[in-house]
């Protein structure tokens, strides 16, 4: 009786040693399906991250302009530009994520003042990464 029990245990061990080819193929197919869903979503994120960074910069510059107004009773003129903020309100002027300067207009066309980036293409208008990002478009976000 002991031999039969030992033989059964040994045969079970031999059968459960590794994966069959079918099991490996099923896992590879599942991983391929998951990768085809996840990879396109990840690949689009760098562009979205740059847009988010530009929005954050515009908000920070907007806050610095409001602090400037509290101290000087008015916003800097368009001619003075954002450079008037360097030193007191901002350590340095950031560039947009596409390495272009932010633009400033006072009085603004869309509000009291306008701060904006022209996006990836550096030209007015556009869609996606090429769209302009301005403080007027961030209200309510």
What pLDDT does 113 receive? 94
Q: Which domains does the chain have, with CATH numbers?
A: 46-137 (3.30.700.10)
For 5-32, the pLDDT digits (tens) are: 555 555 555 556 677 878 777 788 888 7
- Whole-model pTM: value is 0.66
Per this entry, what is the length of the chain? 141
**88 CB-near residues (< 8 Å, 6+ apart):** 67, 68, 71
Q: Which of 116, 139, 136, 120 is nearest to 128 (CA)?
A: 120
Of residues 98, 53, 102, 57, the one with CA closest to residue 81? 102
Per-residue pLDDT of the chain (141 residues; tens, 9 = 90+): 555 555 555 555 555 667 787 877 778 888 877 777 777 666 667 778 888 889 989 998 998 999 899 989 999 999 999 999 888 878 888 899 999 999 999 998 999 999 999 988 887 888 888 888 999 888 766
Residue 86's beta-bridge partner residues?
A: 90
């Amino acid at each position: 009786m002991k031999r039969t029990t030992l033989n059964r245990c040994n045969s079970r061990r031999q059968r459960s040693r590794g994966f069959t080819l079918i099991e490996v193929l099923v896992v590879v197919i599942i991983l391929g399906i998951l990768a085809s869903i996840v990879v396109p979503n990840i690949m689009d994120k760098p562009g979205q991250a740059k847009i988010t960074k530009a929005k954050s910069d515009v908000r920070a510059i907007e806050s610095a302009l409001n602090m400037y107004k509290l101290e000087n009773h008015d916003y800097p003129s368009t001619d003075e530009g954002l450079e008037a903020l360097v030193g007191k309100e901002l350590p340095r002027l950031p560039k947009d994520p596409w390495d272009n300067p932010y633009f400033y207009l006072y009085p603004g066309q869309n509000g009291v003042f306008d701060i904006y980036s022209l996006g990836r293409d550096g030209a007015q208008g556009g869609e996606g990464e090429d769209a302009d990002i301005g403080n007027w478009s961030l209200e309510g976000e």
